Amino acid sequence: MELSDSNYAFLVRILRCKSLRVCEDDLDESECQDFWTSAEVAEWFKAQGYTPYKRNPMEWGLPSPHTSPSLPFEIFQEANYPYAYHHAQAEDEEGPSLSARDFSGRIMYAQDRRLRHVAIKALHIESEEYRTVHFLSQQSLETIRENCLLPVVELLYFRKACFVVMPRWGSAIHAPRSHTMRDLLSIMKSVLKALAFLHSHNIMHRDTSFSNILVNHFGKDSPAYLPTRLPQMSAGLLSYALIDFDMSNMLPRTTDRKSYRLSFENALVGSGGPRDVAQGEFDYDPFAYDVGCLGLFFCEHYQHHTKDIPLLAPLLDKMVTRDINNRFTAEEALQFVERILIEAEPAQLSVVERPNLFRGIFTYETYDRWQGLPIDFQRGLAAYREPVGVPLISRALRAIIRSNIFPRSTVPTIRWLFFRITSVPQWFKAQGYTPYKRNPEEWGAPSLHTSPSLPFEIIQEADYPNAYHHAQGEGESEPSLTESDPTGRIIFAQDRALRHVAIKAMHTESEEYRVVQFLSQQSLETMRESCILPVIELLYFREACFVMGFVCANPEVPHDAGSTLHHAVCVEGFGVSSFPLHYTSGLELCKYSRQSFWS
């Protein structure tokens, strides 16, 4: 049996649209329903072994957007992979129903010869989506199951159209809202498994969102059905699968995905993602972007649970970090979730989810996922931590890009100028040191003091070469470890273990550098025995050398850590800086300029 030319012409119109919501053709949902439920189309699919659902009666005087099974069905059906559980009798509903609705215009629902329920999606055989789906159809059922993807039952062809037959599964994976932490981690693990598998085969998904994850339990397209999942959810019987390859691209096997980039316009699709191109970037890493998209949705739904599962904080931070080169790959994120499941206590995994009261108030960039976590935990995993908030440079660039005032051709110059102004702190962060941040204005003038950017203990015991510190001065209302440097050549920072360091800049051709380089080659024990402050590390940038030393205080000027690395003698301890406010002179203006450079 053949489809008529008129029906095939309409099918071609459907194939041109990824979704009715972004369709350039003037198609609507009702027209698509008329096509899928027409007698000719139904007969064609019946000849292939699939009986399409029938159109529901009119609702409120309008054609119904829902379809329902044409053949008999059980009220409750056990799962038999790849086919899902279904429950047709929702509480307080008049009668059993398995009605379904599709918003894309490209999917219909049907039953096979054994009355099992399937979803059938139309693709063009020359599309990128088809290439991905065809590859997945060649994988074994066990491989697809292990990697949490929805299997392809069969591919049907008519001219340039391919109809992908898949088992019908359910949506709204977070409903009902009574999951335990183990359940939520299971969802995360499933999606990361799927994404890691796709990436390992050079497939970028480009729309990793919760709307593209299904669960192996379905019923009537109504919120009333969702509580019927509770028995399977409580027993840990639900499975999850990543779907929808509308936006996907499959690269040749020989392509190095680590260096592969797409033009920035390609990131402006899908259900939303991280701000990887919001600052005027001209290209982006689509594989890192996939992870960032998933991390964004994980943050939206799970970041308020970091106090229940502290290891969620480093996981989420590494999935959405603005430092793309240090963002987790899908495989690394998967391994970290598996680590959480191993290390978490049973009591932690049994905690029941709570509503996210901050959803819509904080974004993934502005929510502090580490707040309230033990300081030792924060110190041990400091390398995973993403600074809270959007840097001024990023905010400024985003505003410029949104304004459309400047032509796109001028964006590289603007970005270069901003980089020149703000690159110093980022450079040190890349080396493993987070510079102290500049204090607020004092008496209407720029502050000469800086304070730790990362958490710190109020009292810290010495652990050579790390000094004692005490952050709570007598009579002071708040703990502080502010520092100042009168030379303009020193900044203060914290390393990945949250230890405090002083960093001094010097020229590699100076006599001072010759001395410091000699000292850096001595053993720690020699330096301790000789009462000389040890050099932790030497960092180089062209003719500059940055000397890392742990912070201590000068005995002649109490608490002046600005004298660190200048004097032959230091006291093994430091605390809140008590320098008086300097008057504003020409020299001080120079200091403000130096401070702006460092911070």
Query: What pairs with residue 50 in β-bridges?
Result: 112
d(CA 486, CA 562): 7
Give the model's pLDDT for residue 252.
95
What does the alpha-carbon distance between residue 283 and residue 313 come to, in Å, rounded to a whole number?
Answer: 28
Identify the pLDDT of residue 427. 80
Confidence category of residue 583, pLDDT binned at 50, 70, 90: very low
- Report pLDDT for 311: 98
SS3 content of the chain, % helix, strand, coil (to 5): 35, 20, 45
Q: What is the pLDDT of residue 559?
A: 42
Mean pLDDT over residues 188-192, rounded? 98
What one-letter code names the amino acid at 20?
L
pLDDT at 560: 42
pLDDT value of residue 438:
81
**For residues 177-191, average pLDDT:** 96
Query: Above pLDDT 90, what percent of the chain?
Result: 59
- Residue 394: partners with Cβ closer than 8 Å, 6 or more residues away: 275, 278, 279, 322
Given a cut of 70, is residue 394 above it in pLDDT? yes
The two three-digit tokens of residue 455, written as one number: 């958490």
Asked whether residue 25 carries a pLDDT value surpassing 80, the answer given is no
Q: Which two tokens stand for residue 85?
A: 């559980």
Angle at 294 between CA 289 and CA 296, to 5 degrees: 90
Q: Is the pLDDT of residue 390 over 70?
A: yes
Q: Which residue has better confidence, 152 or 95?
A: 152
pLDDT band, residue 368 (cuts 50/70/90): very high
Res 372 pLDDT > 90: yes
- Report CA dihedral (337, 341, 342, 345) to the nearest 10 degrees: 140
Q: What is the pLDDT of residue 335?
A: 99
- Average pLDDT taken over every residue of the chain: 87
569 pLDDT higher than 70: no
Torsion of CA 268, 274, 280, 282, to 10 degrees: -60
pLDDT over threshold 50, residue 582: no
Residues 72-81 pLDDT 10s: 999 999 999 9
Greater confidence (428 vs 230) lies with: 230
Where do the CATH 3.30.200.20 domains begin and end in the chain?
Answer: 1-77+101-167, 431-598
Has residue 294 got a pLDDT over 80?
yes
What six digits make up the tokens of 405? 């005032």
Long-range contacts of 33-36 (CB under 8 A, 24+ apart): 33/63, 33/65, 33/67, 35/7, 35/10, 35/11, 36/67, 36/108
Mean pLDDT of 217-221: 94
Specify whether the CB–CB gap between 155 and 165 falls below 8 A.
yes
Q: How confident is the model at residue 579 (pLDDT cuts 50, 70, 90)?
A: very low
Closest residue by Cα to residue 470 from 483, 457, 484: 457
* Residue 567 pLDDT > 90: no
Position 187 pLDDT exceeds 80: yes
Integer-rounded Cα Rg, in Å, for the chain is 30
pTM, entire model: 0.73
> Could you tell me if 584 and 482 are in contact, meaning their C-beta atoms sit under 8 angstroms apart?
no
Which positions ≥6 away from 545 have C-beta within 8 Å? 505, 506, 507, 508, 513, 516, 517, 538, 539
Q: Looking at the DSSP assignment, which residues form a beta bridge with residue 71?
A: none
pLDDT bucket at 572, cuts 50 / 70 / 90? low
Structure tokens at 493: 């920072």
pLDDT of residue 416: 66
Rounded distance between C-alpha atoms, residue 384 and residue 315, angstroms: 8
Residue 20 is classified by DSSP as G
DSSP state of 489: S
If one compares 334 and 540, the residue with the highest pLDDT of the two is 334
Please write down the HEC assignment for all residues of 63-98.
CCCCEECCCCCCCEECCECCECEEECCCCCCCCCCC
| DSSP class per residue in 143-175 | HHHHTTBPPP-EEEEETTEEEEEEE--B--TT-
The CATH code belonging to domain 431-598 is 3.30.200.20
Residue 51: pLDDT over 50: yes
Report the pLDDT value the prediction gives residue 338, as an integer from 0 to 100.
Answer: 98
Buried b (16+ CB within 10 A) or exposed e, 203-219: bbbbbbbbebbbbbbbb
For the stretch 421-476, pLDDT in tens is 666 777 888 889 998 988 887 776 777 788 999 999 989 888 889 899 888 877 78
CATH number of 1-77+101-167: 3.30.200.20
Give the other-Cβ count within 10 Å of 586's Cβ.
6
Which pLDDT belongs to residue 2?
85
Runs of H (alpha helix) within 431-562: 511-520, 524-529
Provide mean pLDDT across the span 539-546. Answer: 85
pLDDT of residue 422: 62
Lowest mean pLDDT among 159-163, 478-482, 546-550, 572-576: 572-576
Residue 207 neighbours by CB under 8 Å, 6+ apart: 244, 246, 247, 248, 269, 270, 271, 293
For residue 434, the cross-strand partners are: 494
**Most confident range, picked from 239-253, 426-440, 496-510:** 239-253
Between CA 567 and CA 532 the distance in angstroms is 9
What distances in angstroms separate CA 249 from CA 41, 166, 205, 326, 538, one per listed residue?
30, 20, 7, 23, 44
Beta strand 468-470 with 483-484 is unpaired
